[in-house]
Amino acid sequence: MEKRVFEDLKGNLCGEFSLMSDFIVRELAFERETFYILYIMGICSKELLNKFLLEPLSAAYLRGGESAEVGSIITGGGFSAAVGYEAAKEAVLAGNALLIFEGMPAEIFGYIVAAKNDEGRANTEPETENVVRGPHDGFNESAQQSAVLLRRRIKSEKLKSEKITLGTLSKTEVIIMYISGLVNERSLALLKRRLADIQADALTDSGSVEMYIQEGRHALYPTVGNSERPDKVAAKILEGRIAVIVDGSPVVLTVPYLFCEGFQVSEDYAKSPFFATFVRTLRFAAVLCGVLLPGLFLALAEHHMAFLPQEMAEFLAETRKEMTVSLTWEIITAFLIFEILREVGLRMPKAVGSAVGVVGSLILGESAVSAGIISPFVLIIVAFSAVCNFICAPYMNPNAIFRFALILSGGLGGIFGFFAALACALVLGAAKSSFGVPYFSPFAPLSAEGLRDFLYMSPIWRMRKVPPSVSGKNISRTQGRA
């Protein structure tokens, strides 16, 4: 590279990173060559820089090795040429070191030395997905380390990984991982297209990516899965799904995501199939109670009292003698108070959050009953429904919104309004898809193989095929038991 061109390159790079106090230009001057090392302090590791670049370069040139190729001197594993000015600039922004000198070939804009500082949070167990039996590691904020955790569990050359960059300012690294030959090709093509269509200046969390790639712009129920557990994500990849790892977030996305996945827990596969089936049925029944019970009770009590048992109807009428509001607003008020207390418990410091939630519930509940705003019977219905809603974490938030919709439908239209709203929701859910896969699979459309792992869980050795509703292929994964 000519001296004038080299000076222009160095000047442009230093100009691009001006007013950055953490941008460092290190000069190494030898008898016949002067090297410049450009990096950003903090995201570039000093230890790796000294070990793989400064020490071998100094040792080689101090003992008269000027004629040696730079590539043969650098001892680090990550060493490549930056072809183009943008590639050189992005390498520095990514945390690597850029080596430039006057004797470079004309088409090279510097040599990239992998010295990114990957030190981060340890792979501790996620607080939101605790298990009694199973692995106790979790993803952290480094995309590369998260990808390594998946490769440790799937030691196959068919596990592919593709890297893209999103965000014009944030330059967020996104890695998608899948198993070649097992992945649903249609889902993979849809995912790549949606990621390529993202036009944003910054994406700092996997939640932002999820909003861009989900089905529809205003989806109530999730069509993109997420988890902080490597074992759970690896199991989903082995069923033909795709993992989306976003640098800076410990939550890994998985697509496609089906409604039935909300009732499956990784610990189920370490239990007896009978107990796992019992627990899954219990979860499903609890979710139904949490969503349907308040609206159905309101529809019967407000419009069809004759359908209730006589003792219950008389007790309800007795407890509502002193009430100052209608039953509809009574139930809505009770749920609003509960949601406020739940939000307070989540946002308060951990040391006092649970105490504030419990004390607030007791005081407000007792005061509301004494003031005639909420009756004891309604308080029981609301408390039971609210507790049931926590049993299925993926649907906890959407179920709270859907429950309010059913309460209003039941309160205004009675049984007809309640079941009309429920029927509309089921029809919309049946028409919904996640990356080309029907959302209500494996029961709409019906799949006998998929039903082996829904509410009823077959023994592992009987699940002989990859779920065809996910992969779109008829692939055997085990020989079964004799």
Separation of alpha carbons 23 and 10, rounded Å: 13
Region 425-435 average pLDDT: 90
Strand partners, 438: 433
Question: What tokens does 64 get?
Answer: 């008269």
- Higher model confidence: residue 287 or residue 445? 287
Longest dimension (CA), the chain: 102
Comparing CA positions, the residue from 449, 423, 428 lying closest to residue 439 is 428
Region 19-35 average pLDDT: 83
Region 108-120 average pLDDT: 81
Is a pLDDT exceeding 80 seen at residue 20?
yes
Is a pLDDT exceeding 80 seen at residue 351?
no
Q: 303-312: per-residue pLDDT in tens?
A: 888 888 888 8
Lowest mean pLDDT, pick from 65-79, 80-94, 247-261: 65-79
Query: 96 phi and psi, to 5 degrees?
Result: -90, 170
Separation of alpha carbons 121 and 146, rounded Å: 11
Region 455-469 average pLDDT: 79
End-to-end CA gap in the chain: 70
Q: What angle do CA 16, 18, 22 make, to 5 degrees?
A: 110
**Strand positions, DSSP E, 326-445:** 433-434, 437-438
Separation of alpha carbons 251 and 140, rounded Å: 8
For the chain, state the CA radius of gyration: 29
**Strand positions, DSSP E, 187-270:** 225-227, 242-246, 252-255
User: Do residues 205 and 248 touch, judged by C-beta distance below 8 A?
Assistant: yes
- Higher model confidence: residue 353 or residue 384? 384
The pLDDT of residue 252: 95
pLDDT band for position 328 (cuts 50, 70, 90): confident
pLDDT band for position 350 (cuts 50, 70, 90): low
Half-sphere exposure of 418 (CA within 13 A, CB side): 20
| Cβ burial, residue 379 (10 Å; 0-12/13-18/19+) | buried
Q: 162-201: per-residue pLDDT in tens?
A: 999 898 888 899 999 999 888 989 999 999 999 999 988 8
Q: Is 63 helix (H, G, I), strand (E, B) or coil?
A: coil
User: Do residues 352 and 383 touch, judged by C-beta distance below 8 A?
Assistant: no
Query: 332 phi and psi, to 5 degrees?
Result: -60, -45
Region 324-353 average pLDDT: 78
User: Do residues 168 and 201 touch, judged by C-beta distance below 8 A?
Assistant: yes
Is a pLDDT exceeding 50 seen at residue 482?
no
Is a pLDDT exceeding 70 seen at residue 355?
no
The pLDDT of residue 178: 93
Considering the chain, what is the average pLDDT of its residues? Answer: 83
Question: What tokens does 182 get?
Answer: 């097992």
pLDDT band for position 116 (cuts 50, 70, 90): confident
Alpha helices (H) in 320-449, listed in sequence order = 327-347, 350-370, 376-389, 396-431
CA 149, distance to chain mean position in Å, is: 16
**Strand positions, DSSP E, 424-469:** 433-434, 437-438
Q: 201-219: per-residue pLDDT in tens?
A: 888 889 899 999 998 777 8
Query: 453 phi and psi, to 5 degrees?
Result: -140, 45
Separation of alpha carbons 159 and 38, rounded Å: 35
Is a pLDDT exceeding 60 seen at residue 480?
no
User: Do residues 74 and 56 touch, judged by C-beta distance below 8 A?
Assistant: yes
Q: 144-160: per-residue pLDDT in tens?
A: 888 989 998 988 888 99
Can you say whether the dihedral through the CA atoms of 61, 64, 69, 73 is positive or negative?
Answer: negative
The pLDDT of residue 210: 92
The pLDDT of residue 479: 46
Comparing CA positions, the residue from 249, 178, 257 lying closest to residue 225 is 257
Is a pLDDT exceeding 70 seen at residue 453?
yes
Query: 211 phi and psi, to 5 degrees?
Result: -65, -30
- Higher model confidence: residue 31 or residue 398? 398
Question: What tokens does 462 get?
Answer: 């009987």
Query: What residues contact 443, with CB distance under 8 A and at least 6 apart?
Result: 260, 450, 451, 454
Share of the chain above pLDDT 90, in %: 22
CA 94, distance to chain mean position in Å, is: 23
User: Do residues 395 and 287 touch, judged by C-beta distance below 8 A?
Assistant: yes
Is a pLDDT exceeding 70 seen at residue 452?
yes
Q: DSSP assignment of 452-464, as one string?
A: GBSSSB--GGG--
Q: What angle do CA 94, 95, 99 make, to 5 degrees?
A: 105
